[in-house]
Amino acid sequence: MHELAIIEGVLDAVTERLPDAKISCVRLEIGALSGVVADSLQFCFELATEGTSLQGASLEITQTPGRCRCRTCGSEFEPAGQILLCSCGSADADVLSGQELKIASVKVA
């Protein structure tokens, strides 16, 4: 489960930047094509924050859509799921957005 490692990285980044702060909320932006499962992140967040300055904090996740450009026909499209298939039938596409995973903001109590 790589979501646990992701959450541990998020917690490390937040506590490194705000070592003495009581955190009430962490907001993440996750791209639809990132391969990260939001429900798994929520579960891991609750486990990983126990006994830390983030215990009791909420995790808010915003999923950003994926956007691709077909190398065959040149059109831009939003893929349906993880398969980057253009309406022209080509699977040869560049990902323009949707692979991001970032800490959007942190709310201090």
Q: Which two tokens stand for residue 30?
A: 């996750």
Beta bridge partners, 77, equal 68
2-66+97-108: CATH topology is hypothetical protein PF0899 fold (3.30.2320)
What confidence category does residue 1 fall into, taking pLDDT thresholds of 50, 70 and 90? low
Q: What is the DSSP letter of 34?
A: S
Tens digits of per-residue pLDDT, 32-79? 999 999 999 999 999 999 988 899 999 999 999 999 999 999 999 999
Residues 6+ apart with CB under 8 A from 29: 61, 62, 63, 64, 100, 101, 102, 104
Q: What is the pTM of this model?
A: 0.83
The residues spanned by each domain of the chain are 2-66+97-108
Helix (H, G, I), strand (E, B) or coil at 63: strand
What confidence category does residue 82 fall into, taking pLDDT thresholds of 50, 70 and 90? confident
